[in-house]
Structure 1
Amino acid sequence: MSGEKTVRGFLGCYQQHDFKGMQAYLADAAEFSDFAFQIQDNAVKAMWHWFCIPYTSRPDPVKVPEFEVISVEGDRVIARYRVVYLYGEALRPVDYWIRATFTVSDGKIVTQTDRFDQISAFEFARMAFGLPVALLAFTPLLRSTVQKKATEKLNKFSQEYGY
């Protein structure tokens, strides 16, 4: 299976909240990184499961209204996808595009690195936390705080669901 087909299948499963389908596209030792996570192996599988189902701190799964593959060069695929979800205890609406770089081998995603595509860390923080907390985006404190909280929540989910 080509890298492009793999990525399209993976993101299509995400749109359908089909975490098992997504997991089938992941290599056993898959690695994922973005603003909140730097994880691998079962933690990656747990994260996609967590994002695809309603959960205590998020009443609806993450929505992926649209995606597109931008380029394919050998085993590297670059795609964009839009995510919409409610964030934090205040359930603040968040809506933004992600630029994802995938490395695919033998039809499986080995690495995925996600970056904000059209917004800054400040704009993300303003959506997710509101002002004045968003001002922390101009310091290393915001990212470390988001990473710590995200890791704690993912670890809790992983324990509850046996990852």
Structure 2
Amino acid sequence: MRHANAELITRFYQAFQQLDAETMASCYAEDVRFSDPVFTDLRGTDAGDMWRMLCAKAQGFSLTFEGVAADEYSGRARWVATYVFSQTGKTVVNHIEASFVFRDGKIVEHHDRFNLWRWAAQALGTKGRLLGWLPPVQNAIRQQAAKGLAAFQKNR
């Protein structure tokens, strides 16, 4: 029998497959910390709002996941998101390694790892392929994403 926290991870990704951000956010503790190469430090409701924004904007979206494993304290999964990046219309296939920390049946830490240069090459095309490894370009990607999240939260 799988651990309850493995079931929690599965519920999170099954909700993501359905673009159900409310269920995704309900898997998080109120004081959750989320990070990935773009959103480097989201806390609390900001993490749930990021998923709400991404689900609301999703185009041509599909998701697969595998390798779900968890115990009482931590867990992991691998997932692949395929979608159209709205700013350029280019298709992105992003391979992600996720790690989790749990407390009281909720996710309290969620860290996603992926290659931001590879993402930029797909999402931005030639510019991303040639310049996506540069820290100023990666910082610009992060700043644009933060502005997008702030605008989404303001208009909610």
TM-score normalised over the length of structure 1: 0.85
Deviation >3 Å, runs of 4+: none
CA distance in 2, matches of 1:7, 1:70: 7
CA distance in 2, matches of 1:159, 1:78: 32
Cα deviations across residues 103-127 of structure 1 (Å, max 9, x unaligned)? 11111110111011xxx43322210
User: 34, 37, 44: which is aligned to 1:35?
Assistant: 37
Q: Does the Cα contact within 8 Å between 2:117 and 2:128 map onto a contact in 1?
A: no
Map 1:136-155 → 2, pairs under 5 A: 136-155=131-150
Partner in structure 1 of residue 79 of structure 2:
81
Partner in structure 2 of residue 3 of structure 1:
5
SS at match of 1:145: helix
Q: Quick check: 123-132 or 104-113, which moved more?
A: 123-132
CA distance in 1, matches of 2:43, 2:60: 21
CA distance in 1, matches of 2:128, 2:107: 35
CA distance in 1, matches of 2:45, 2:60: 20
Paired residue total: 153
CA distance in 1, matches of 2:36, 2:92: 16
User: 126, 129, 141: which is aligned to 1:131?
Assistant: 126
**Structure 1 gap ranges (5+):** none
1:159 lines up with 2:154 in the alignment? yes
Q: Does the Cα contact within 8 Å between 2:67 and 2:78 map onto a contact in 1?
A: yes
SS at match of 1:30: strand
Map 1:42-121 → 2, pairs under 5 A: 42-53=45-56, 55=57, 60=59, 62-64=61-63, 66-116=64-114, 120-121=115-116
